[in-house]
């Protein structure tokens, strides 16, 4: 109450303070993979990429089961698939070079059609009991299969130029996709060939491959620009990659020898039927580690190989105990060390490959891995026959040590010309 002159003014009591409104929490920022696939067009070309990539894990085992089932000869089946791998090693780099020069859709689609026709020809020749040479010729035609993983990585590299963190996430996703497809592909092929009919695996793989490639190449806005013939003057990827190809060869030795050693070990223990499941643990570990690695800061190649080396020695130690459970755990841990190494090594390929020839450079790396897998499988098979399955586990451990020695000698990324991505520390 206040008095002003002769007027009495009653002052209203002060209003009670308004209750505090709780602050609205800030929205959680999207994760790296959500940001990656928020970019226009990335989901569509990734869907096509995954559809086309799944058959890469199906074709080999489908051909073996189809030929062996119809012709009664695993020797013939193995020789046919080996011929296809050799033809792919020769043809794939040339196909990749044409893709870099003339564009993905312009080259990949015709190359895919030739490869699919080769698969269909193989089915017809097997069913009609055609001469054996027709099987070799048909499967050799599939060597024109484009490197779908390399083309997808090239798209990410073009799309995310100047964004090294997002590029690292994309490469980690691609590695996880590789592991997933090579884990699911053989299982799907084996199921189709046994539960449906012997040709079902090859037929389904060809259909998925063609459909996925059509969807992938339809996303023309995401396609890297063509480089033309001028890119050939920037140096050969074969010369630029140098020791890295030897590194990938050693990694292929690891994968090929580990697979044969595991199959032989489980078969000797009377658990051959579970070999697919146990080997899937290794791929599952690599897939999970690849996705996790994409959310973390990338590491150096030497550090990744230093982790991979002891991890690849774990299966040998587990096999010495005679415990299948310990072996399964060891393979899981070995797989978890694989993806970060592959992602980091592929980043080196990106950095060293001359600009405009990225797909060719990545295809050379894949060819080196496949060559190593073939050599590792053969060497492990000989070791199993002469020394037993447990001794064969020494081969991946030794090959990883060789890879570590080579990786430590690779020139640092900052000293070489890179192809659009920032160097990885």
Q: Identify the domain boundary among 226, 254, 278.
A: 226
pLDDT of residue 273: 64
**DSSP sequence for 375-417:** HHHHHHHHHHHHH-HHHHTHHHHHHHHHHHHHHHTSPPGGGS-
The answer to whether residues 212 and 81 belong to one domain is: yes
The answer to whether residues 342 and 408 belong to one domain is: yes
The count of structural domains within the chain is 2
Q: Identify the domain boundary among 226, 246, 262.
A: 226
pLDDT of residue 51: 92
Structural domain of 388:
231-425
Residues 267 and 275: beta-carbon distance below 8 Å? yes
CA-nearest of 278, 283, 251, 282 to 266 is: 278
| CA pair distance 290, 293, nearest whole angstrom | 5
Q: Identify the domain boundary among 183, 200, 226.
A: 226
Residue that has been written with the tokens 């090579």 in this structure:
182
The answer to whether residues 196 and 255 belong to one domain is: no
pTM: 0.77
pLDDT of residue 10: 47
Regions of the chain with pLDDT less than 70: 1-30, 227-235, 272-275, 410-425
pLDDT of residue 270: 77
The answer to whether residues 159 and 302 belong to one domain is: no
The answer to whether residues 176 and 259 belong to one domain is: no
Residues 67-82 pLDDT 10s = 888 887 777 887 888 7
pLDDT of residue 233: 56
The answer to whether residues 275 and 164 belong to one domain is: no
The answer to whether residues 184 and 52 belong to one domain is: yes
pLDDT of residue 13: 56
pLDDT of residue 234: 58
The answer to whether residues 245 and 340 belong to one domain is: yes
């Amino acid at each position: 109450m206040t008095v002003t002159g002769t007027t009495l003014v009653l002052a209203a009591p002060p209003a009670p303070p308004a209750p505090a409104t709780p602050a609205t929490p800030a929205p959680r920022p999207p994760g790296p993979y959500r940001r990656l696939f928020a970019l226009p067009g990335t989901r569509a070309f990734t869907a096509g990429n995954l559809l086309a990539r799944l058959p890469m894990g199906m074709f080999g085992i489908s051909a073996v089961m189809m030929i062996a089932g119809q012709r009664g000869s695993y020797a013939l089946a193995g020789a046919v698939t080996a011929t296809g791998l050799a033809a792919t090693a020769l043809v794939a780099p040339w196909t990749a070079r044409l893709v870099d020069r003339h564009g993905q859709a312009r080259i990949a689609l015709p190359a895919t059609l030739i490869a699919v026709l080769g698969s269909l020809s193989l089915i017809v020749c097997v069913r009609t009991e055609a001469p054996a040479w027709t099987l070799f010729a048909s499967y050799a035609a599939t060597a024109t299969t484009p490197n779908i993983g390399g083309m997808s990585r090239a798209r990410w590299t073009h799309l995310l130029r100047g964004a090294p963190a997002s590029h690292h996430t994309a490469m980690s996703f691609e590695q996880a996709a590789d592991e997933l497809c090579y884990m699911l592909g053989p299982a799907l092929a084996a199921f189709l060939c046994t539960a449906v009919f012997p040709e079902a695996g090859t037929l389904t793989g060809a259909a998925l491959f063609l459909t996925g490639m059509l969807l992938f190449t339809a996303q023309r806005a995401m396609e890297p620009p063509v480089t033309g013939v001028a890119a050939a003057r920037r140096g050969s990827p074969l010369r630029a990659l140098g020791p890295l190809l030897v590194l990938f060869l050693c990694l292929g030795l690891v994968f090929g020898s580990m697979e044969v050693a595991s199959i032989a070990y489980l078969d000797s223990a009377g658990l051959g039927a579970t070999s697919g499941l146990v080997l899937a643990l290794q791929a599952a570990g690599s897939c999970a580690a690849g996705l996790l690695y994409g959310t973390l800061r990338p590491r150096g190649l030497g550090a990744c190989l230093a982790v991979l080396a002891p991890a690849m020695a774990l299966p040998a130690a587990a096999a010495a105990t005679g415990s299948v459970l310990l072996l399964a755990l060891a393979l899981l841990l070995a797989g978890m060390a694989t993806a970060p190494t592959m992602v980091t090594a592929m980043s080196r390929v990106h950095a060293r490959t001359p600009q405009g020839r990225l797909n060719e450079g990545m295809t050379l790396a894949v060819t080196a891995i496949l060559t190593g897998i073939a050599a590792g499988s053969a060497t492990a098979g000989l070791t199993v026959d002469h020394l037993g399955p447990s001794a064969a586990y020494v081969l991946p451990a030794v090959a990883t040590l060789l890879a570590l020695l080579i990786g430590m000698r690779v020139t640092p990324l900052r000293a070489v010309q890179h192809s659009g991505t920032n160097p990885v520390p």
